[in-house]
Structure 1
Amino acid sequence: MEALLARLEALLADNSIFTLQTLSYYGEGLVTTVQLVFLSLVIGLVMAVPLAIGRGSRHRWISLPIFLYCYVFRGTPLLVQLYLIYYGVVFVEGIQDTWLWLILEKPFVPALIAFTLNTAAYTTEIFRGAIKATPRGEIEAARAYGMSRGLMLRRIVLPSAFRRALPAYGNEVIFMLHASAIASVVTIMDLTGAARFVYARYYAPFDAFLFVAAIYLCLTFAILYFFRWLERRLLAHLKPAGG
């Protein structure tokens, strides 16, 4: 770690590479990466909750399509999904003559769609397992109080499942942050895209990618700290008294 910090100090002192202009590229890439990851996680989480409930349904006409969706998106590489969505949009007949093309022609939107569908599939399985692990006593107590299925889900099952799913979902957030590096292959100027630009301009691959790796490392530590703090807050009732 000391060697890495020393190398970073040397890089920042090298004005031929790390100028205000190149740092602005990294700043722009950081904003793009955070936007892409944040939006895909939020939309994916909103999608995953009803999908997880439907995934556990006894009706196969509900659970089977959700299972197939999760199986496909969890069983294929995210890079392949990104290519299929980014390049496949062009082959949709007549789409270039509609208002949708004004949105889909920008690479950020297909990347957002691919990332959202991918993280929604993983999050669905995370929440499905957490919902399935709900203690039977909590379900029986809710029924004894006369709660309807919807009220029981909202007040008992989902809050309890969210607490159990928190560690696994934290890993999914970190995975999406790291996976966002592939967005640069569809011409998005994210953090990795900024590093590629600096490398192509100054022919310094080690310096450019080491700096961006340090940024990813800082973001990962921030996410880990946030989820550990959230776990302490939400799981405080499980700690022994006086512990």
Structure 2
Amino acid sequence: MDIQFLQETLLLLLPGIPLTLALAFGSVLLGFFLALALALLRQSGLRLLDMIARAYVFIFRGSPLLVQMFLIYYGLGQFPAVRDSLFWPLLREPYWCALLSLTLCTAAYASEIIRGGLQSVPYGQIEAAWSCGMTRLQVLRRIVLPVALRQALPAYGNEMISMVKSTSLASIITLMEVTGIAAGLIAETYRALEVFTVAGAIYLAINLVLTRLLQWLEYRLTPHLRAQKSVPLVKHSRQAS
């Protein structure tokens, strides 16, 4: 491969990284709150709310993200009510359409991850909190959510990494993130192998940093694991003395 061309390609693709990060982390952040609401609806015990959440998850998890993005970007503008609404200045922009489609899609997957985390909370801890006089809201905020999020973090980290890669679909609706710029370079140079190699390396670097951050966060949220690691050191020091 031509090393000089790879270096030049890297410099040309770097300006697309901020848009890629904005789409990825914006959709993950907004999708988290929507996913949490959907998971709570599933756990509410009310049949109507549970059916609404189930239908949402079935639709957005069962259909391709690319189709959802096309429907939002190209389809919503066909309705006069949408064009006359207050949301049209946002929905006519490809960035907001991409962010909306990514958010709706990741919320469907993340809601099931969070729901699994909620179900993993031992009921004994909830009963102990009630016996201490906590209200339902206090139990949810102090006991259920911290434990559930800690349990769901590894799987949710995989979803975050997946969303970073899914931002490449935004290039289909004219957004010039990393993949969009790469497609333009290939159209000019006809050197797809080199350009996509550099683009793939950029995604790998982003996900490497994200993986390390998730590992650090999981380490911070699991002090009992750190305590288990310190036990052999204590025993070894006592035997040496």
Fold similarity call, TM over 0.5:
yes
2:49 to 56, 62, 80: 62
Stretches of structure 2 that go unaligned for 5 or more consecutive residues are 233-241
2-structure distance, mates of 1:158, 1:225: 23
Choose the corresponding residue for 1:140, options 109, 112, 127: 127
The counterpart of 1:73, out of the listed 42, 60, 73, is 60
Equivalents in 1 of 2:14, 2:167: separation in Å? 16
Shift of 1:47: 1.4
The aligned amino acid for 1:211 is V
Q: Following superposition of structure 1 onto structure 2, how do residues 1-243 of structure 1 map, counting pairs within 5 Å?
A: 10-11=2-3, 13-14=4-5, 18-19=7-8, 23=10, 25-239=12-226, 240=228, 241-243=230-232
8 Å contact 2:113–2:156 — kept in the other structure? yes
In structure 2, the CA distance between the partners of 1:100 and 1:54, relative to structure 1 (3 Å rule), is closer
Q: Tell me the alpha carbon deviations over residues 199-220 of structure 1, each in whole angstroms, 9 at most, x when there is no partner.
A: 1111211111110000011111
The one-letter code matched in structure 1 to 2:45 is R
- Contact 1:48–1:120, Cα closer than 8 Å, also in 2: yes
| TM-score, normalised relative to structure 2 | 0.90
Aligned residue pairs: how many?
230
Give the fraction of aligned pairs with identical amino acids, expressed as a percent: 40
Secondary structure in 2 matching 1:242: helix
Report the Cα offset of residue 95 of structure 1.
Answer: 3.1
Contact 2:10–2:198 under 8 Å retained in 1? no
Shift of 1:184: 0.6
Report the secondary structure of 2:133's partner residue.
coil
Counterpart contact for 1:28–1:189, Cα < 8 Å:
no
Structure with greater proportional helix content: 2
Which 4+ runs in 1 deviate beyond 2 A? Answer: 22-25, 94-102
CA distance in 1, matches of 2:84, 2:116: 43
| CA separation of 1:189 and 1:33: change in aligned 2, threshold 3 A | same
- 1:93 is displaced (CA, Å) by 1.4
RMSD: 1.6
Give 1:242's aligned amino acid.
V
CA distance in 2, matches of 1:138, 1:170: 25
